[in-house]
Amino acid sequence: MSSSKLISLSSALAAALLLGGCGSGTESVRQPQQSSPPVTVKASPAAMVDLPETYEAAGTVRARVTTVVAARTMGRITELRVQSGDAVKAGQVVAVLDARDLEAASRQAEAVRAEAQNAVPEVDSAVAASQAQLDLAEATFKRMKMLFDEKSITPQEFDEAQARLKTARAGHEMSLAKRRQLEARIRQAEEGVAQAHLQAGFAQVTAPFAGTVIERKAEPGMLAAPGAPIVVIEQSGAYRLEAAVDESRLGQIRTGTPANIRLDAFDKPIAARVSEIVPALDPGSHTFTVKLDLPGLAGVRSGLFGRAIFAQGAHKALAVPASAVVSDGQVMRIYVADGGAAHGRLVTTGARSGDSVEILSGLAAGENVVTNPPRDLSDGTRVEVRP
């Protein structure tokens, strides 16, 4: 055999041995993966169930009572004692006006009352004097009448006595009239004082009820006028959700209809009922406003976003536990345990009710769905289903 043939045979033999060694190494690497234990999971079959149908209406939380606090008299604002967000009590002073003109008017009214009251002794004296004159005239007239009947005095003397009696009566009536006029002046002066004090009290602008200041409409130094807003206050503990409901639901939702309210700021739904329905529809959105009173909950404030969820019966649907659905952005996936392996399925989800989620596509009834799938679970992973 030539040397060239021996070299070729040796090369072929070496290549064969090399290939054999490589094949043996590959098997040693794959062996651990095939012998790794299966992942233990729990599964439940997808089933057709009765899922409640609901209608959601988005809305905003607003205070049931909101008032604009304004001045009741003209005056420059000297103090504004509250800021936006401050809690106030009923009757608390929120602003103070310059009251110098009002105080001057009050002093003037008191002076008028004092002048009228000071005239009382003089008028009472005049009344007493006229009463004395009347008593004397009446007594004199009685004596003159007796003498006239006895023909002891002349008719002229009797007529004079009768005239003096009439004059005394007129004088007494006049003094009594002046007393009544003075009493009327005193009452009028007292009313003027009360009115002046009331006007002076308007210099302190107070909160009509306990609540929260949501907006300041004025600043110190500004001129306040009757009806001009100074602050806006919401009443505490009185809030409601005002939701926009589609006009197609007009015949289904009425006053007293129950609903669950979900606020993004709260974890649990809030049971409520429709308290008011605004009859006018919005021509732009074709919706009508439904108002649902909220219970007194800490943390509720105007402006919170919420949803009113109304029950609308039930329907048959394929459902799985909510824990079985894996969300990857907008993609929803579940894993079906079949043949000892997990198989990923892209699904379309529908309504959610409690711990169940409706599956619209991608799954058939009866298939075993992995609940609470581990993070590292992937398509084709060996699994062992345990109860």
Q: Which of 196, 224, 246 is a domain's end point?
A: 196
Q: Both 290 and 229 in a single domain?
A: no
30 found inside a domain: no
Split at pLDDT 50, 70, 90, the class of 103 is confident
Q: Both 87 and 207 in a single domain?
A: yes
Q: Both 192 and 207 in a single domain?
A: no
Does pLDDT of 325 surpass 80? yes
Give percent of the chain above pLDDT 90. Answer: 40
253 found inside a domain: yes
The rounded mean pLDDT for the chain is: 85
Q: Both 177 and 256 in a single domain?
A: no
Give all strands (DSSP E) within 264-363, no chain letters: 270-282, 287-293, 305-321, 326-328, 331-338, 341-353, 356-361
Does pLDDT of 22 surpass 70? no
| pTM score, whole prediction | 0.54
Query: Token match 């219970």: residue?
Result: 295
Average pLDDT over residues 64-68: 90
- For residue 144, count CB atoms less than 10 angstroms from its CB and return exposed for 0-12, middle for 13-18, buried for 19 or more: buried
Does pLDDT of 169 surpass 90? yes
Does pLDDT of 59 surpass 90? yes
Q: What is the pLDDT of residue 132?
A: 93
353 found inside a domain: no
Average pLDDT over residues 25-38: 49
153 found inside a domain: yes
Q: Both 108 and 254 in a single domain?
A: no
Give percent of the chain above pLDDT 70. Answer: 91
Average pLDDT over residues 207-234: 91
33 found inside a domain: no
Q: Both 156 and 302 in a single domain?
A: no
Q: What is the pLDDT of residue 35?
A: 55
Supply the range of the domain harboring residue 223. Answer: 65-98+203-237
- Give the pLDDT confidence of 350-387 residue by residue, as tens digits: 877 778 889 999 999 999 999 999 888 888 888 888 87
